[in-house]
Every structure is written in C-alpha cells, then in structure tokens.
Amino acid sequence: MQAHYLEFLTVAFGVFLLMFEAFTDGKKSRIALIAAAGLTVILLLQCTAPLHAEVPSWMSRFYAYDALARFYKLIALVSTILVLLMAFDFRKILARFTCGDRSEESMGEFFCLPVFACAGLMWMASAKDLVSIFVALELVTITFYVLVAYMRRNVGSLEAGVKYLILGGLSTGFLVYGIAWVYGSLGTTDLALIPTALASQDLNLSFLLFGLALMIIALGFKIGAVPMQLWIPDVYQGAPTPITAYLSVASKAAGFIVMWKILNPFLEADAPTQAQVFLILSIMAGATLLYGNLGAIKQSNFKRLLGYSSIAHAGFLTIGIACYDITAVSFYLATYLVMTFSAFFILALVRNQEDSDAIEAFDGLGQRNPLLAAATTITMAAMAGIPLTAGFWGKFFIFKAALTAQPQAVSWCVITIAFICVAAGFYYYLKVVKAMYWNAARNEKALTIPSITKAVLITLTAAIVIIGIFPQPIICLLGQ
C-alpha cells in the first residue's frame, strides 16, 4: 500500500473504534487491545510501503515521503501501540478516577483518542508546508488536551489539563503569529521555496527574524525546551501515566522533526539567518540543559523526575539541531523511545500496586522482584548514558556532532555544560537504583507483573542492551 494512504487508514480505524465503543457495553479496556492490534497492522504496512512512490498531485503541495518521514512515522506508530498496551494494564487506576468504581463505562474514548493523535503525528512527519504542519500539530495538541485531563475525578489531572490548555493555546498563538511574519517576509509558506525566497534582495531580515523567534518559542513548548518548559513537571505528574509517556516520547519526537523541517532552510550555509538561528538554538540548548538537570536533582517523585529529565534530554537534542545533524537527533530519539517507555512501564506497574509515584515506592524492590529491579537498573543506566546501553550511543552522537560541526555551531561553554549535565544525570537516575538495593522495603509483599507488561519490559530491556552493543540497525533505518 502507498504510504500516503496510511494516515487516512489510521483515521478511519479511529472512527471505527469510536463507533465500536458507542455500541458496546462491559469491558471497554478491550478496545485498547483492538487498537494496538490494528495499529500493528498499519505498522507492518508502513514498513513495506515503497519509499520512493509518487505522491498524488493534489497532495504534493503539502505532503512528502522519504526515509526521514518513514522513520518518524514508525516512532509514532510504535509509541502509540506501547501507550495502548500500557493503558490496558493501567485500567484499574483509570477506572477509579473516571468512573469512580470498578466499571469501565467511561473509559472507552481514552483508548480511541491516541489513534487520532497517531494520525496527526504521522502527518507531521510528512508535512512540507507551514500550513500542513500547523494543522497536523493542532490535531495532536487538541487530542492531548482531552487525554491529559481524562482522569476527571483527580484534582492533579484537572490541574494538569488546565495548565496544558492555557500554555498550549499560548504556544499556538506564537506559532500562528510567527508564521504570519515569516509569510509576510518571504511570500511563501512552502518550505521547499524558502531558500529561493531567502536569496531575494528585497528581504527584510528584521521582520523575518522576529517571525522565526516567535516560531522557535512555540516549538519550545512542543519539545519541552526553555523558555516554554514550565508546564512539563506539573502536567507530567498530573496526567495519566500512559499519556505522560506519550507526551514524553511521541510528542517530543514530532516536535523535533517539525523544528528540523522549519529551521532547515534557515540554517543552510548561504542563508542570511544562519548565524542568528545558531545563536538562539545554542542559548536555548544550554538553558534547557541547566534547567532540566538542576530541577531533577532534588526530586523525590519518580514521575516528576522523569519530567525534569525529559527537559534535560530536550537540551541534548537541541544541541543536535543546532549542529545541523538530524541523524544524531533521530538516533537519540529512537534510543529515548526505548528507554523512556521502559521507565514508564515500570512506573505504571509500581503505581498500580503501591499507589504511589514516589521514589521511596521502589525501596527494597531488589528483594521483592529481582527481575523488575534488574530491568529498572538497566533502564536507569541507559538514561544516564552508561556505556553498553542504548543511551550511551545517543549522547555519543550528539557530542560527536557538537565537536565536529563546521562551522562551530555550539560554543565550548554549552558543550562544557552538557558534559557536567551528563555527570549530574548519574546522580539522579541512580537514586532509584540505590532505593531498590540499599533501602529497606516498606513491605514484604512481592510485586506481580502482568503478562503484557512483562513481555514489553523484556523486549525493551533487551533492545536497550542490543542497541548499546550494536547500534547499526537504527543508523541503517535512517538511510545512512
């Protein structure tokens, strides 16, 4: 099947799930399994879709499909499937804060909406015009407005929903206003035509840079970077854990591919905006690294710690964008997917059985469930960037890009900050390992792992180790 049909197929599948949900009673959580199965079929179709097939003329103005687009569509599909599987095992907590009892009557839409978000993420990967990027971005964001606040009987979830709505609306305003200024300066919203427009002698550089600055601020919200990072700790803590994982991985990956597509013409060697955009990205990367790591150090709540560390990872990824190296950024995001989903599956499991997101809920886990403790240790080691794990190669390629970029896009000051932040990561990630093996257990009851979570955790942990030893398959997938 041609790749451009798959987004429409995904939307049609989402509509089918909504109809199915409306006319069925009883266990709504089975919709999560049906949705995951359907998206797995679409994933297989995506893998077999011809890479260089011609896009119909009525779509070619806004849509393109290449190896990079395929890579980010795969990230979107895999992330959504994992979120749905995590949500299935998280249904007990969802039922408590949506229905108020053990029934699943009000949970059906929760398992349908990620399918629509997935379609938006896939369109974002192929968008080639500022208009189509904006439409796809809003499809994803509006879906997240609902999902973040879905646990309506939980005050934290409602607070997170309001904060996400207000700041999301603000970022949308920045983005639209920025697009208007860029269009007014260049006369086009087609990203392919922007290099030609930049060569115009009539260009007003001040107006263009003002528009670009507004758009970068808006994109900062999508990727969780300074100065639009303030929503992350509260929203991550308040949102349902599967949606937090979705925001952390799929939304961030889509934000970075959009940032790359938008900024790419302005970072080219002959672009008059190159020096200014390099400077903005470099400052943004340094500030994001400092904010994320300093915030993570003092956290005692694991979910909030993952929120701050997500900001820190955005800092590393912004260095990759500033160095004009999309391969390093994409590789980092692929490893980030594996590590982060593993961490959130573990967190969801502990939350289900200990009713707590705090790090102290992991106390004595080494005795209570050695298999889960081993998976957690490998995951935390990968997130810290320890060698022989996937996380090491992600950081290695970013630093390699920063040190070899010509011209020097990121200052030595930012590179030094990044090295110090890697060391800081060892401290706050390994706090969880210390709690598991050195702290006394609060109770002796063993944690049981549901079969789906166990299968996913074994797969993700194995992937962390295999990629850590042999990263070549991901590099090949990126077409390098």
Mean pLDDT for back-to-back runs of 10 residues, the chain (480 residues): 87 94 84 95 92 81 89 94 93 83 80 94 92 91 92 88 91 93 92 88 87 93 88 90 91 90 88 89 93 92 92 94 90 94 92 87 89 94 93 93 78 90 92 91 81 93 94 80
Helices (H), 49-107: 57-60, 67-89, 91-98
The number of beta carbons lying within 10 Å of the beta carbon of residue 365 is 26
Reported pTM: 0.94
**pLDDT of res. 43:** 95
Q: How far apart are the C-alpha atoms of 9 and 15, rounded to whole Å?
A: 10
For the chain, the average pLDDT equals 90
The number of beta carbons lying within 10 Å of the beta carbon of residue 53 is 11
Q: How far apart are the C-alpha atoms of 249 and 236, rounded to whole Å?
A: 12
For residue 164, give the nearest of 182, 139, 143 by alpha carbon: 143
Full DSSP string of 251-320: IHHHHHHHHHHHHHHHHSTT-TTHHHHHHHHHHHHHHHHHHHHHHHHT--BHHHHHHHHHHHHHHHHHHH
**pLDDT of res. 204:** 85
**pLDDT of res. 209:** 93
Measure the CA dihedral 396/245/290/411, to 10°.
40
Q: Return the DSSP state at 128.
A: -
The first and second tokens of residue 402, run together, are: 């920063």
Whether 316 and 415 have beta carbons less than 8 Å apart is answered as no
Over the range 113-143, which residues count as b (16 or more CB within 10 Å of their CB) and which as e? bbbbbbbbbbbbbbbbbbebbbebbebbbbb
**28-31 CB contacts, 8 Å cutoff, 24+ apart:** 28/104, 28/105, 28/107, 28/108, 28/111, 29/87, 29/88, 29/91, 29/104, 29/107, 29/111, 31/108, 31/111, 31/112
**pLDDT of res. 407:** 67
Q: How far apart are the C-alpha atoms of 224 and 295, rounded to whole Å?
A: 14
Give the largest Cα separation in the chain, rounded: 74
Whether 242 and 83 have beta carbons less than 8 Å apart is answered as yes
Q: Return the DSSP state at 432.
A: H
Q: How far apart are the C-alpha atoms of 396 and 357, rounded to whole Å?
A: 31
Q: How far apart are the C-alpha atoms of 382 and 350, rounded to whole Å?
A: 20
List, for residues 218-267, the tens digit of each pLDDT value: 999 889 998 888 889 999 988 999 999 999 998 888 899 999 999 999 98
Q: How far apart are the C-alpha atoms of 244 and 249, rounded to whole Å?
A: 9
Domain ranges of the chain: 282-479
**pLDDT of res. 107:** 84
Helix (H, G, I), strand (E, B) or coil at 176: helix
For residue 116, give the nearest of 91, 145, 94 by alpha carbon: 145
The first and second tokens of residue 193, run together, are: 């035509």
Measure the CA dihedral 73/76/81/83, to 10°.
180
The first and second tokens of residue 112, run together, are: 């349908």
Full DSSP string of 219-256: HHHHHT-TTS-TTHHHHHHHS-HHHHHHIIIIIHHHHH
Q: How far apart are the C-alpha atoms of 288 and 154, rounded to whole Å?
A: 30
Which residues make beta-bridge pairs with 129? 190
The number of beta carbons lying within 10 Å of the beta carbon of residue 205 is 12
